[in-house]
Amino acid sequence: MTTEELVAAVSNGDDEAFCALVRSGKQRLYRIAYAYLKNETDALEAVQEATCRA
């Protein structure tokens, strides 16, 4: 599925699509968090917190 298809499925309540969307963007989220925090542990925690809140 493309990102657009996953987003559409998530907006329709598809939990599996949400998990797939998170998995596909997790590495990018980590890189962004690490760029700001400059600490691996803090970046991982930030990504986990953001994922849980989503």
Model confidence pLDDT, tens digit, residues 14-53: 999 999 988 888 999 999 999 999 999 999 999 999 988 8
Residue spans per domain, the chain:
3-53
In a 13 Å sphere around the CA of 50, the CA atoms on its Cβ side amount to 16
Model confidence at 4: pLDDT above 90 = yes
> DSSP secondary-structure letter at 54?
-
Question: What pLDDT does 7 receive?
Answer: 93
